[in-house]
Structure 1
Amino acid sequence: MVEGESGTLYRLIPLLQSRIAALFLPFVNNFLQNFLFNRSKNTQTRCG
C-alpha cells in the first residue's frame, strides 16, 4: 500500500514541477522585464 502511494507520488512530482514552472515562469519573466525596463528608464532620466 505504502509502496504504491510513493510510486504515484514519484510520478506526480515531475508533473507538479512542470505545472509550477509553467505558472511561475511568466511571472518571473514579467518581473525581470519590468525590472530591467525600469532600470534602463532610470539611467536614461538620470543621464538626461
Structure 2
Amino acid sequence: MAWSAPMTAVANSIFTTAAFNQYVRDNLLETAPAKATTGSRLIVTTGST
C-alpha cells in the first residue's frame, strides 16, 4: 500500500469506516514507526528535513 493524499472534509458529508481506513489507518501504516518490525529497530534516512 502506498501513501494516499488525505481526503478533503466537506460539510454534511459522511465519514465512513472505509474512508477512515483508507485515509487515516492505511496512511499511518506507511510511516516509519509502523514499518519497524521490532521495538529496538532504528530508522535511518537521508534528506534535508
**TM-score, normalization by structure 2:** 0.33
Higher relative contact order (CA 8 A, sep 6+): 2
Normalised to the residue count of structure 1, the TM-score between the two structures is 0.33
Larger Rg: 1
